[in-house]
Amino acid sequence: MIKNIVITILMLIFAVWPLINMKVYPVKKTIRNEKIRNIAIIAHVDHGKTTLVDAMFRQSGLFRPGLEVDERIMDSMDLERERGITIAAKNCSVQWNGVKINIIDTPGHADFGGEVERALSMADGAILLVDASEGPLPQTRFVLKKTFEKGLKVVVVINKIDRKDARPEQILDEIYDLFIDLDADDEQLDFPYLYAIGREGIAKKTLAEKRDDLHLLFETILNEIPAPEYDPKEPFQMLVSDLGYSDYLGRLAIGRIFNQKARFNDAMVCINDKEEHLPLKISKLQVYDGMSLKEVEAAEPGDIVVLSGIEDVKIGDTICTKEFPKPLKRIRVDEPTISMEFTINTSPLSGKEGRIVQSGKIRERLIKETLKNVAVRFEQTEDRDRFIVKGRGEFQMAILIETMRREGFELSVGRPKVIYKQLNGTMLEPIETLFVDCDEHFLGVVTEKLSTRKGRLTNLVNNQSGRIRAEFSIPSRSLIGYRDEFLTDTKGTGIMNTLFAGYEPFRGDFPTRFTGSIVSDRQGNSVAYALYHLEPRGRLFIVPGEPVYAGMIVGEHNKTVDISANPSKEKKLTNMRAAGKDESTVCSPVKPMTLERAINFIKDDEMVEVTPQSIRLYKKTLSVKKRHLMQPVKNSN
């Protein structure tokens, strides 16, 4: 009898123990919102991210059958469509089997790496695309490393298996090697992978399998990428990962809800980088619905929302409740590696072509850029008309300048310079690993050029196919403007890619350009006669009829020194008839000066004048007399 009572008591204690335990020691219990998945699509440039998103749209039933849709629909900015590349990471969503998949399409170009870092702050997993022929390239390594640092789950998609030169099995081995190289643990090494033809919307598990849809990709996302996790006991938190602007709603804060629900009209606070608490009221709440936005009354934990109601918000801020203000970890991105001088346009032709020329406006615009673009920094110099902008590469800078000129700005920019660091009295400079893939005949000229620029050959693979793969360790400054030369040297067939390797001691000076400039010595309009006679001196940048001014660079001189010339010199008219035929003055065609070519061409004492209509190069000191009085400028980085 007593024995039975003891057993019953013991059983009762066992039964209620978990309840007692919960009361005494409340265990942190998180829940996953299985109705949502957040994924970033990451890869090296051109491996097919945006095209895959198109196919995902099509197959999720977003477009009605027969509807004509543009290619690469997520590349919505003008510059993205013109250049065929993604510049900014963008959100969208698709529905699959009742689950909402928020997708963030990211850029693959190294200069826009900050966008990938920003995008990953919204995701729980990533789709790593790898071209079935090119294999993992430098930016594949960069984005995968960032994904590992965030502890996100990765699904590998070996894309473009329809390419004639595809070698998908070999590529899978190379991806394993890359994972091992990046210290992946056993779980990460066991990554799920698929083969795909993104352009045709096909994904399959094995190469032999016959499939004509992306169902397997959707299923893999649902099964492998964890649903967003949240703690129902934690207060509301949202991390601002992007900003938008609407004429009607003002500033839009875009980001992921970490805990609790957001509701229309809720009063919140925004915690900024100075830990100030700025009050806000959600005046409109939207979520991604395909490529557009849908207004909602409330948004779920784990969802990515677009929230209006606050003007003074920055990327990295946390939006939370007034009662429980708890900031999330701010988004950190890699430091900028290059800097560039921006000034007002002081050329004699300034103010003729652009609408916005004032330094205040340029300053405002540059500050606005730093709000949206996490990798860009702005500094005001002592001179109120001169600013320093820092970023990840000269291409990123060129895109910013091009965007500004299209907005109607006129400005001048200097040569991109790398950012040095000091460590215990030693000057350090940014170093890149340069990967070259070219015909073996061109290896000699490429190696020679790179060694004059302080590059060191670190690896060489010749798999007897006629092409070689070489790796160089080289200062970042050596690569500014090198791509054009590389393409000329390899007859357009070489491929070069870079990966930031870190800071190393300064490797010494070297000349950046072995040619001088042909500089106009007066104001006027260029004429065919003068240009025709200047042609033998070098390569001209202007055609007859263009306005010129004293100090403007009209061409590249064949020799190392600068020369002054008068491009508006007319032929002397005489009333004597020439005995023979008149000298022909048909000028050779001129390669139009693009912004990228211009900023890569100039030396330290030269600037580029940018207006909505023109790109002109000029000497910082316009007067030829004053230039002659000055010390010659050392043409080095």
Which helix (DSSP H) or strand (DSSP E) does residue 8 occupy?
A: helix 2-24
| Residue 59 interacting with ligand GTP (CB under 6 A) | no
Cβ nearer to ligand GTP, comparing 91 with 473? 91
- The contacts of residue 400 (CB under 8 Å, 6+ apart) are 369, 373, 376, 389, 391
DSSP class per residue in 548-598: E-TTEEEEEESSSS-EEE-TTPPPPP-SSPPSSPPPP-PPPP-PPPPHHHH
Residue whose beta carbon is closest to ligand GTP? 108
| Residue 373 interacting with Mg ion (CB under 5 A) | no
| Residue 91 interacting with ligand GTP (CB under 6 A) | no
- List the single partner that 496 binds among ligand GTP, Mg ion, none, CB under 5 to 8 Å by kind: none
- List the single partner that 477 binds among ligand GTP, Mg ion, none, CB under 5 to 8 Å by kind: none
The strand pair at 125-131 and 153-159 is best described as parallel
Q: Which of residues 42-81 bind Mg ion (CB under 5 A)?
A: 49-50
- List the single partner that 521 binds among ligand GTP, Mg ion, none, CB under 5 to 8 Å by kind: none
Cβ nearer to ligand GTP, comparing 48 with 551? 48
Cβ nearer to ligand GTP, comparing 48 with 135? 48
| Residue 43 interacting with ligand GTP (CB under 6 A) | yes
CA–CA gap between residue 303 and residue 626 (Å, rounded): 62
| Residue 51 interacting with ligand GTP (CB under 6 A) | yes
| Residue 163 interacting with ligand GTP (CB under 6 A) | yes
In the block, tokens 């400005």 appear at: 411
- List the single partner that 520 binds among Mg ion, ligand GTP, none, CB under 5 to 8 Å by kind: none
Cβ nearer to ligand GTP, comparing 395 with 503? 395
- List the single partner that 343 binds among ligand GTP, Mg ion, none, CB under 5 to 8 Å by kind: none
Specify whether the CB–CB gap between 250 and 263 falls below 8 A: no
Residues in the chain: 637
Structure letter (DSSP) for residue 517: E
**H-state helical runs in 182-287:** 186-189, 215-224
- 3-class DSSP assignment, residue 112: helix
Q: Which of residues 241-300 bind ligand GTP (CB under 6 A)?
A: none
Please choose, out of 95-103, 160-168, 409-417, 518-526, the segment that lies near ligand GTP by the rule CB under 6 A. Answer: 160-168
Please choose, out of 140-148, 195-203, 253-261, 402-410, the segment that lies near ligand GTP by the rule CB under 6 A. Answer: 195-203
CA–CA gap between residue 145 and residue 138 (Å, rounded): 11
Cβ nearer to ligand GTP, comparing 162 with 273? 162
Task: Give the pair of three-digit tokens for residue 316.
Answer: 């990295």
| Residue 139 interacting with Mg ion (CB under 5 A) | no
- 3-class DSSP assignment, residue 618: strand
CA–CA gap between residue 631 and residue 323 (Å, rounded): 65
| Residue 85 interacting with ligand GTP (CB under 6 A) | yes
- 3-class DSSP assignment, residue 161: coil
Closest separation in Å from C-beta 494 to Mg ion: 23
Of 36, 56, 94, 108, the one binding ligand GTP by CB under 6 A: 108
- CA-CA-CA-CA dihedral for 306, 327, 229, 218, to nearest 10: 40
Of 141, 153, 167, 199, the one binding ligand GTP by CB under 6 A: 199
Residues making contact with ligand GTP (CB under 6 A) = 43, 45-51, 72, 85-86, 107-109, 159-160, 162-163, 197-199
Residues making contact with Mg ion (CB under 5 A) = 49-50, 86
